Structure 1
Amino acid sequence: MSKAEWENNEEIKIFREYLRIPTVHPNIDYSDCVAFLKRQAASLDLPVDVVYPANEANPVVVMKWEGTEPELPSIILNSHTDVVPVFLEKWTHDPFSADIDDEGRIYARGSQDMKCVGTQYLAAIRALKASGYKPKRTFYLTYVPDEEAGGFFGMREFINGDYFKSLNVGLSLDEGSSTLDDSYYVYYAERTGWQIRFKISGTAGHGSILLPNTAGEKLNYIVDKMMGFRASQVQALKNDKSRFYGDVTTVNLTIVQGGVQRNVVPALIEVVFDLRIAIDVDLVALEKQIRDWCDEAGGGIEIIFEQKDEFVPPTKVDDSNPFWTAFEGALKEFDVKYHTYVCPGNTDSRFLRAIGIPAIGFSPIRNTPILLHDHDEYLGADTYLEGIKVYTKLIAAVGNV
């Protein structure tokens, strides 16, 4: 297709309109986004609700496509409406203009993560309705806020309310990621997130004295052990090329704080580590190991878990899960390559899996640089249109399970 053809394509027009709504952190005003989604629901003749599970600043928009057997557990097609901040000086295009270049690349924050999926759902339903298809199961299209800030004012609160419980959800589809080759990634689980603050106390005094049991010595011990653990995971990836990023535990030092003056040995130093723990790790044993390291360092170290997620069982991707069988069958029918993986990051799917609802993470983006949260984020117009065709098959397949 030519640039003019892409610009005049109705589905791409809808996508670009959505991208131009700056639902960007911090302090997001979702009012224009809600109005846009209401118009889309009206164009598809779908009833729509707006609910506020956490507060008035964080709306969840829910569209309903009723199935012929509404008593069956429903399916939610989830996407988040918020996007991460931008650094304008790093972009070659205005991040909220949705410019298309001559190669069909649509530049915008959210083009990959994940406004594309939100409008691809709509386009797929438009195509299915036009073909006369009617699903057995009811679909709910949920557009949630706050995912990029953790989902604590969006999906986490939404699933705890009576409104969500009334939906009788049996499956959730949500975001995945782009791939560099011609295959798709399908995510069936997520690692467990821990963020640990070590408050390290020690002997204080003059910087000219070799004081015993200082906070700096203990800091050195803890950092050495944590970074050694990190190095073991880097090596594990190198040793087994079949492993994916989500198959190992990531350990990253993110904050160091302490000291008041250059010649004063501090009484307290704090260090924070972000861990994303592989699903095969014994969490109890890992916590004990970390606490043992604190004792070995000399004691006087308080551990504060600023985030301590519980283990969430993965969604089954085998014949025991009829939704997976249908999903996989649709991908095979489309004749595309795909791989099932543990998602390296966190998405709203973790909240659904935690309450026993199967959740599959999937974004139909292939042969594309991975630009989630990056500068000059873009999605190819042809890739976007191909994704609509993929979702059309997927939605039809799982809707009739």
Structure 2
Amino acid sequence: MNKSQWENNEEIKIFREYLRIPSVHPNVDYTACVEFLKRQAADLELPVDVVLAGLNPVVVIKWLGKQPELPSIVLNSHMDVVPVFPDKWTHEPFNADLDDEGRIFGRGSQDMKSVATQYLGAIRSLKANGHQPKRTVILTFVPDEEGGVTQGMANLIKSDYFRKLNVGFSFDEGISSEDETYDVFYAERTVWHLRLKISGTAGHGSLLLRNTAGQKLNYVLNKLMEFRESQVKRLEEDSNMDIGDVTTVNLTQLHGGVQSNVVPPLLEAVFDIRVAITEDLDALEKRIRDWCTEAGDGIELVFEWKEPYVAPTRIDASNPYWLAFKKALDELGVTTRQRVFPGATDSRFLRSFGIPALGFSPINNTPILLHDHNEYLRADTYLRGIEIYKKVIAAVANV
């Protein structure tokens, strides 16, 4: 296909329309997203609900199955996108520009408005061919996934409304692959955001005071960086591992001090820690607390975000949804790679309620540009993704 053919393709038009809605943090206004999705539901002749998850709306579209008493299949996506730095983009981030190579530029093109409209495109095609699934298929479009700790799905899943959906399995976002393979994510690391409040001796900057906050920070920071380096070495020494298989530690914020010649009584350091699924959470926390004790009295640990361990989704013969999903991809001749997601998605909330979930974005041979400048997705990759979803949605919904 050439540029004019892509521009006139109805599925591409729908995708680009969604990309043009600036549902960007902070202070997202979801009104335009909700109206867009309600129009999509009407076009598909499917019922739609708009419910609240916290303060913001969730759009729910239902495709009734032949046996609606069976557990349903959820196709989840989030409506919000991360902020942009417009001066770093070669295309306006909310214009959904299509270039001569077929690249569609826009915030959300990979993360993850493409997945949302690919779900819709797959269902549109299946319905046009007279297909009706055995299980009810439910599309959930949630808010606030990118906004921190108050995710829409975290609120939705606790509601009576969600419980009545009788969910048995869920799809959600993955990450693009830079080679021929497609990545499938069956688990996620545990997210910790840890603040250390370090108190110490204060005084004049010309003295060699003992037990200062800076000395204690230096000790704990060295220990955490040594642990970080051990994870780097694990990656370097085992080519079968990737970033999702190890624990990452990053110093993300430092606060303290009043001026250059005053030793401060308090310093604060914030760390983003993503704990590998093979790590003992209690043991790791104890190690960090022990390092703080060794550094000296006066260090307070505050977990600003401390998620519990969530068991991975089984990817073996015990999971019939996985078997159907994998068989469908095998029949398409698609090569997959099973991975632990390096970041965090709504799948972890579903897994925490015992619902098996897979992260999968049908994007390959594409640079990973989520949260990056000049985020784009090729039109041919997008349309191929609809064909892949047609196959896997039908397969899983007929388990």
1:250 & 1:151 partners in 2: Cα distance?
19
- Residue 217 of structure 2 is matched in structure 1 by 219
1:59 & 1:393 partners in 2: Cα distance?
30
2:227 to 226, 229, 252: 229
1:94 & 1:121 partners in 2: Cα distance?
26
1:321 & 1:52 partners in 2: Cα distance?
32
Which residues in structure 2 correspond to 1:188-267 (within 5 Å)?
A: 188-267=186-265
Which residues in structure 2 correspond to 1:303-322 (within 5 Å)?
A: 303-322=301-320
* Letter matched to residue 369 of structure 1: P
Query: TM-score, normalization: structure 2?
Result: 0.99
Q: Mind listing any 5+ residue stretches in structure 1 that lack a counterpart?
A: none
1:114 to 112, 132, 139: 112
1:365 to 363, 366, 386: 363
1:153 & 1:346 partners in 2: Cα distance?
11
**TM-aligned CA deviation for residue 152 of structure 1:** 1.8
* Letter matched to residue 44 of structure 2: L
**TM-aligned CA deviation for residue 299 of structure 1:** 1.9
SS state of the match for residue 16, structure 1?
Answer: helix
**TM-aligned CA deviation for residue 328 of structure 1:** 0.3
1:152 to 150, 153, 166: 150
Question: Residues 149 and 305 of structure 2 are in contact (CA less than 8 Å); yes or no, is this contact kept in structure 1?
Answer: no
Question: Residues 323 and 398 of structure 1 are in contact (CA less than 8 Å); yes or no, is this contact kept in structure 2?
Answer: yes
- Residue 277 of structure 2 is matched in structure 1 by 279
1:65-99 residue CA offsets vs partner (Å, 9 max, x unmatched): 00000000001100000000110100000111101
SS state of the match for residue 116, structure 1?
Answer: helix
**TM-aligned CA deviation for residue 151 of structure 1:** 5.8
Which residues in structure 2 correspond to 1:1-400 (within 5 Å)?
A: 1-55=1-55, 58-150=56-148, 152-400=150-398
2:232 & 2:296 partners in 1: Cα distance?
28
2:53 & 2:250 partners in 1: Cα distance?
33
**TM-aligned CA deviation for residue 272 of structure 1:** 0.7
2:299 & 2:380 partners in 1: Cα distance?
55
Question: Residues 246 and 276 of structure 2 are in contact (CA less than 8 Å); yes or no, is this contact kept in structure 1?
Answer: yes
2:185 & 2:148 partners in 1: Cα distance?
18
SS state of the match for residue 214, structure 2?
Answer: helix
1:48-68 residue CA offsets vs partner (Å, 9 max, x unmatched): 00001212xx11000000000
* Letter matched to residue 5 of structure 1: Q
The percent identity for this pair of structures is 67
Question: Residues 310 and 348 of structure 2 are in contact (CA less than 8 Å); yes or no, is this contact kept in structure 1?
Answer: yes
> Structure 1 residues 173, 151: closer, same or farther in 2, change over 3 A?
farther
* Runs of 4+ displaced beyond 6 Å: none
**TM-aligned CA deviation for residue 150 of structure 1:** 3.1
2:234 & 2:53 partners in 1: Cα distance?
42
* Letter matched to residue 75 of structure 2: L
* Letter matched to residue 282 of structure 2: V
State the number of aligned residues.
399
Structural RMSD (CA): 0.7
1:140 & 1:182 partners in 2: Cα distance?
30
**TM-aligned CA deviation for residue 303 of structure 1:** 0.4
SS state of the match for residue 147, structure 1?
Answer: coil
* Letter matched to residue 132 of structure 1: G
1:342-380 residue CA offsets vs partner (Å, 9 max, x unmatched): 000000001000010000000000000000000000000
SS state of the match for residue 61, structure 2?
Answer: strand
1:146 & 1:70 partners in 2: Cα distance?
30
* Letter matched to residue 124 of structure 2: R
* Letter matched to residue 373 of structure 1: H
2:394 & 2:157 partners in 1: Cα distance?
25
